[in-house]
């Protein structure tokens, strides 16, 4: 039996990065990660990356849309995709015995989609409906708006969905041009999580990739654009039943070694557990909010650390003051040895539990391979977390949550 923490990584001759994470499951998870999200699309064609992701399912030179949907679904598998500001990701879940079909289909969608104009116009309407639905959920769009204002003047600030106006401009030729520039092996990683022999599955991935992939000897890796950072305070009356608020700041990039300390700090402040400091303070002790959470999103050249809560309009200012008071505490007072030990234990346990989700593993490893050409094993993660000190967390708190760096977005 192969240890589940075993890994196999390699880079093929045309630049595609490959990773196999061994598991003892009879289910296979695959992820094709592509470095080409919203931040590298032309500003006038906002939403191009996301629309491209949708159109990958609308037909190739040998499969119709319905044939694509049936290819894995009729076998009990699943096929899906998503777009972020820096990636488009195609991923699948199948039984181990069907993994070759999944590998072939993922590469076919990436390299052989036809982007038929008739299908494109239909899909634009679908995305416009998605945009309108999104506008009905302030607790969702406030996150995108916060990054829009925080990074205003930078491509990373753009909304992933685009607008009805920018979508209208996009043509089939735009999709072909975008994918020709970005959908090349040196901008991709392919990850498999499953019970496979290293050499055999790697050979299969390379074989199916070469079946479709263009020659990329002249291709240039996609480079993340530079970032401009702003400090702001916006307080707007949206006439919603519940007020929504974000307090946040720019944070460390993917390549900053302090990233792990910030992840632990955010988990302490507002992670998923009910005993997080902000949940205990604002919900359990003061009954001011139903939901409060802290999150950190790292990008290639920057990051965003934020605290979100929703509450009644009359409680907004009190909630803000309580959050600021808690941030002042983590800046001024280091964690006790006991609190730090339990915080590490909690996060490592959360990671261990989530690692049982093969799909989540494939997606996380795919992103890491795309950016680093490697990924941290469970043992390496544990070593990094256990090495953190109370002083490390306090230094990060003072750096990220300094009063003069904080921005506020309030929708009342």
User: What is the per-residue pLDDT across 374-391, written as a single tens digit (0 to 9) for each?
Assistant: 999 989 999 999 999 999
Domain that holds residue 131: 7-212
296 and 208 housed in the same domain: no
247 and 189 housed in the same domain: no
Q: Which one of 181, 212, 243 terminates a domain?
A: 212
- Give the CA angle between residues 343, 260, 293 to the nearest 5°: 60
**How many Å apart are CA 309 and CA 143, to the nearest integer?**
11
Residue 268: inside a domain, yes or no? yes
**How many Å apart are CA 171 and CA 209, to the nearest integer?**
27
- The reply to whether the predicted model has a pTM over 0.75 is yes
Residue 227: inside a domain, yes or no? no
Question: Residue 280 carries which DSSP code?
Answer: I
206 and 237 housed in the same domain: no
Residue 1: inside a domain, yes or no? no
* pLDDT attached to residue 213: 83
272 and 326 housed in the same domain: yes
Q: What CATH number does the domain containing 45 carry?
A: 3.30.830.10
30 and 133 housed in the same domain: yes
Is residue 313 predicted with pLDDT exceeding 80? Answer: yes
Lowest mean pLDDT among 1-10, 45-54, 268-277, 279-288: 1-10
201 and 250 housed in the same domain: no
120 and 253 housed in the same domain: no
Question: Could you tell me how far CA 94 lies from the centroid of its own chain?
Answer: 22
Question: Residue 343 carries which DSSP code?
Answer: H
173's CB contacts (< 8 A; 6+ apart) are none
* pLDDT attached to residue 255: 97
Residue 2: inside a domain, yes or no? no
Q: Which one of 212, 247, 271 terminates a domain?
A: 212
Residue 389: inside a domain, yes or no? yes
321's CB contacts (< 8 A; 6+ apart) are none
User: What is the per-residue pLDDT across 124-156, written as a single tens digit (0 to 9) for each?
Assistant: 999 999 999 988 889 899 999 999 999 999 999
**How many Å apart are CA 372 and CA 17, to the nearest integer?**
10
User: What is the per-residue pLDDT across 103-123, written as a single tens digit (0 to 9) for each?
Assistant: 999 999 999 999 999 999 999
178's CB contacts (< 8 A; 6+ apart) are 36, 41, 48, 49, 52
Residue 319: inside a domain, yes or no? yes
* pLDDT attached to residue 1: 32
Count of the separate structural domains present in the chain = 2
Is residue 5 predicted with pLDDT exceeding 60? Answer: no
* pLDDT attached to residue 250: 98
Instruction: Give yes or no for a contact between 291 and 309, defined as CB atoms under 8 angstroms apart.
Output: yes
**How many Å apart are CA 146 and CA 297, to the nearest integer?**
12
163 and 197 housed in the same domain: yes
176 and 241 housed in the same domain: no
Q: Which one of 183, 212, 241 terminates a domain?
A: 212
77's CB contacts (< 8 A; 6+ apart) are 92, 93, 94, 95, 98, 102
Output the DSSP codes for 72-96: HHTTT-EEEEEE-SS-EEEEEEEEG
Is residue 88 predicted with pLDDT exceeding 50? Answer: yes
* pLDDT attached to residue 243: 96
* pLDDT attached to residue 4: 47
Return the structure tokens found at 402: 């300094």
User: What is the per-residue pLDDT across 188-245, written as a single tens digit (0 to 9) for each?
Assistant: 999 999 999 888 999 999 999 988 886 666 667 788 889 999 999 999 998 888 999 9
**How many Å apart are CA 159 and CA 170, to the nearest integer?**
16
Q: Which residue, 222, 267, 191, 186, is CA-closest to 49? A: 222
3-class secondary-structure state, position 291? strand
Residue 188: inside a domain, yes or no? yes
Question: Residue 387 carries which DSSP code?
Answer: T
62 and 183 housed in the same domain: yes
52 and 173 housed in the same domain: yes
* pLDDT attached to residue 2: 38
244 and 183 housed in the same domain: no
**How many Å apart are CA 191 and CA 367, to the nearest integer?**
9
Q: Which residue, 27, 379, 310, is CA-closest to 141? A: 310
């Amino acid at each position: 039996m192969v240890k589940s923490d075993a890994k196999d990584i390699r880079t093929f001759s045309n630049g595609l990065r490959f990773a196999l994470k061994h598991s003892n499951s009879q289910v296979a998870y695959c992820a094709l990660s592509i470095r080409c999200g919203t931040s590298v699309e032309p500003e006038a064609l906002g939403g191009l990356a996301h629309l491209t992701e949708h159109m990958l399912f609308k037909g190739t030179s040998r499969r119709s849309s319905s044939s694509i949907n049936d290819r894995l679904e009729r076998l009990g598998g699943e096929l899906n995709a998503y777009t972020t500001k820096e990636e488009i990701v195609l991923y699948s879940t199948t039984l181990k015995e069907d993994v070759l079909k999944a590998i072939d289909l993922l590469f076919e969608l990436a390299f052989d989609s036809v982007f038929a104009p008739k299908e494109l116009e239909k899909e634009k309407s679908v995305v416009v409906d998605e945009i309108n639905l999104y506008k009905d959920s302030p607790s969702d769009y406030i996150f995108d708006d916060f990054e829009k204002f925080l990074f205003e003047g930078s491509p990373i600030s753009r909304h992933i969905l685009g607008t009805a106006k920018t979508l209208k401009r996009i043509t089939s030729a735009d999709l072909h041009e975008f994918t020709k520039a970005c959908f090349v092996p040196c901008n991709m990683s392919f990850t498999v999580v499953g019970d496979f022999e290293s050499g055999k599955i790697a050979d299969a991935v390379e074989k199916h990739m070469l079946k479709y992939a263009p020659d990329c000897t002249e291709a240039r890796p996609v480079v993340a654009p530079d970032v401009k950072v702003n400090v702001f305070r916006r307080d707007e009356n949206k006439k919603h039943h519940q007020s929504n608020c974000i307090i946040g700041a720019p944070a460390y990039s993917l390549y900053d070694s302090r990233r792990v300390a910030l992840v632990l700090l955010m988990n302490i402040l507002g992670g998923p557990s009910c005993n997080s400091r902000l949940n205990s303070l604002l919900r359990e002790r003061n009954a001011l909010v139903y939901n409060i959470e802290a999150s950190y999103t790292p990008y290639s050249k920057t990051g965003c650390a934020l605290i979100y809560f929703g509450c009644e309009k009359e409680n907004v200012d009190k909630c803000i003051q309580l959050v600021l008071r808690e941030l002042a505490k983590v800046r001024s007072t280091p964690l006790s040895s006991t609190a730090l030990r339990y915080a590490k234990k909690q996060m490592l346990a959360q990671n261990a539990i989530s690692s049982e989700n093969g799909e989540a593993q494939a997606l996380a490893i795919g992103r890491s391979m795309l950016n680093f050409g490697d990924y941290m094993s469970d043992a390496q993660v544990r070593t990094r977390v256990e090495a953190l000190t109370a002083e490390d967390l306090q230094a990060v708190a003072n750096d990220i949550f300094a009063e003069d760096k904080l921005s506020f977005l309030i929708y009342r």
